[in-house]
Amino acid sequence: MNRHKSAGIKTIAVMTSGGDAPGMNAAIRSAVRTAINHGIRVFGVQGGYEGLIEGDFVPLDAEAVSNIIHKGGTILETARTERFKESRWRGKAYDELRHMEIDAVVLIGGNGSFAGADAFTREFPVPFIGIPKTIDNDIYGTDMAIGFDTAINTALEAIDKIRDTANSHHRLFFVEVMGNDLGFIALHTGIAAGAEAILLPELKNNTAQLIQTLEKGWVRKKRSMIVVVAEGAVEGGAAEVARQVGERFKHFEIRVTNLGHVQRGGNPSCADRLLASLLGNEAIKSLLKGSVNVVIGQQAGGFTKTSFPKAAGGKHELDRHLLLVANELMR
């Protein structure tokens, strides 16, 4: 962990990077207002790393971040860029930061964003401090990332509504949720929705075993059945699983729903607004105490500091107890 004297922090930039997640605006608001309270001037970077390369800075004061805590997305906008992977473009970003006399950058991002920050801070002396956001909840070093709680509640609300129509028509629904590599959304929403089965990327998904589980439900004359499928659990996703099941059991009336990007949108939940407010505040305070080039997270109710390489490359594994509970409840 690098350390700098807090007296050197007079001006900071706040930026959002990578995929959007509900609660990012709440984190921006918290970081900006905390910085202002400590006499620090704040600029926002428009458009993530692309904006950093192009020097697209806007001044942020308390008024600029008023009435945004409840809004989804990010007022600073975000983008994915390949250019920042090249040293010459990172050098261009450094020149833009020095031109604006910016002493540190607060980065609200995910794994890829933190990998970019790690590459930059290895080459140039402007420090970064990270705030974790992603609906996938796959960032190492924090129990929860900003956006996850809203995403699972959005998915759960949709599945509850699907259950209503499934009950009305005696149907079997396969609901695909986001999670290409990790099944946090599928596991949490599957348990909360009372799904008959949950398919996760971390587990070997056996179609024959799934069919056996569904057949038991059919024999018990269940009026409806829901299977929650993480998008990366099976090649071809929920549609392929539904096809395989449909070939074996013609008596099932099967439907497939892909929730897609609806999980990224919407007003952030109370939990996400609170988490974002706490992490934004702690990020500035940690920066002033000399902690830089780390990601500020929360574990077991306390704040954590994880280096960029660990945050970007570490694996946040599913809660094994939740997996055991899911297996027992779906029998």
Please give the pLDDT value at position 217. Answer: 66
pLDDT at 292 over 90: yes
Q: How does pLDDT run across 188-241, given as a tens digit for each residue?
A: 999 999 998 999 998 877 777 888 878 776 666 666 789 999 999 988 999 999
Please give the Cα distance from 179 to 80 (Å, whole number). Answer: 19
Q: Tell me the C-alpha distance between 200 and 125, whole Å.
A: 41
Residues 67 and 158 in one domain: no
**Nearest-angstrom CA–CA distance, 138 and 316:** 5
More confident residue, 181 or 288: 288
- Tens of pLDDT, residue by residue over 226-243, are 999 999 998 899 999 989
Residue 171 lies in a domain: yes
Q: Element (H or E) spanning 257, and its range?
A: strand 254-258
Q: Report yes or no on 320 lying in a domain.
A: no
Decide if pLDDT at 172 tops 50.
Answer: yes
CATH number of the domain that residue 99 is part of: 3.40.50.450
Share of the chain above pLDDT 70, in %: 94
Domain-embedded: residue 55: yes
Closest CA to 319 of 202, 234, 210, 206: 202
Could you list the residue range(s) of the whole structural domain that residue 204 is in?
A: 148-264
Question: Does 157 share its domain with 103?
Answer: no
**Residue 326 falls inside a structural domain:** no
The Cβ of residue 175 has, within 10 Å, a number of other Cβ atoms equal to 25
- Final residue belonging to a domain, choices 202, 233, 264: 264
Report residue 33 as tokens.
């207002």
> Given this model, what pLDDT does residue 5 score?
38
Same domain for 272 and 124, yes or no, is: yes
**In this structure, are 224 and 236 located in the same domain?**
yes
Has residue 176 been placed in a domain? Answer: yes
Rounded Cα distance between 224 and 73, Å, is 35
318 located within any domain:
no
Considering only CA atoms, which of 110, 90, 128 is closest in space to residue 9?
A: 128
Alpha-carbon gap, residue 73 to 270, rounded angstroms: 15
Angle value at C-alpha 53, between 139 and 45, nearest 5 degrees: 65
pLDDT in tens, 57-100: 999 999 999 999 999 999 999 887 889 999 999 999 999 999 99
In a 13 Å sphere around the CA of 275, the CA atoms on its Cβ side amount to 28
CATH of the domain at 171: 3.40.50.460
Same domain, 273 and 251: no
Distance (Å, whole) CA 107 – CA 49:
10
Q: Looking at the structure, do residues 152 and 233 belong to the same domain, yes or no?
A: yes
Rounded to an integer, the average pLDDT of 136-163 is 95
pLDDT at 2 over 60: no
Position 168 scores a pLDDT of 65
Over residues 120-139, the mean pLDDT reads 96
**Residue pair 240/210 in contact by the 8 Å Cβ criterion:** no
Q: What is the pLDDT of residues 12-66, one digit of tens each?
A: 999 999 989 999 999 999 999 999 999 999 999 999 999 999 999 999 999 999 9
250/156 same-domain check: yes
In a domain, 330, yes or no: no
Q: How many other CB atoms sit within 10 Å of the CB of residue 208?
A: 9
- pLDDT bin (cut points 50, 70, 90) of residue 247 is confident
> No. of H helices and E strands in the chain?
11, 13
| Sequence-ordered alpha helix ranges (H) in the chain | 24-37, 48-54, 87-99, 111-123, 148-169, 184-192, 207-219, 237-248, 270-288, 308-313, 320-329
pLDDT at 249 over 50: yes
- What is the spatial distance between Cα 254 and Cα 256, in angstroms, rounded to a whole number? 7
Hey, which residues are catalytic here? 136
d(CA 228, CA 158): 12
- 121 with 175, same domain? no
Does residue 160 contact residue 228 with C-beta atoms inside 8 Å?
no
Task: Provide the 3-class DSSP secondary structure of residue 230.
Answer: strand
Q: Rg of the chain over CA atoms, in angstroms?
A: 22
pLDDT above 70 (res 6): no
Question: In what helix (H) or strand (E) does residue 292 lie, and over which residues does it extend?
Answer: strand 291-292
The structural domain count of the chain equals: 2
| Same domain membership, residue 288 and residue 139 | yes
Q: Same domain for 70 and 175? A: no
Residue 324 lies in a domain: no
C-alpha angle 228-226-235 in degrees, rounded to nearest 5: 40
Global pTM reads 0.92
Burial group, residue 88, by CB count within 10 angstroms (0-12, 13-18, 19+): exposed
Same structural domain for residues 167 and 118? no
Looking at the fold, whether 289 and 172 belong to one and the same domain comes out as no
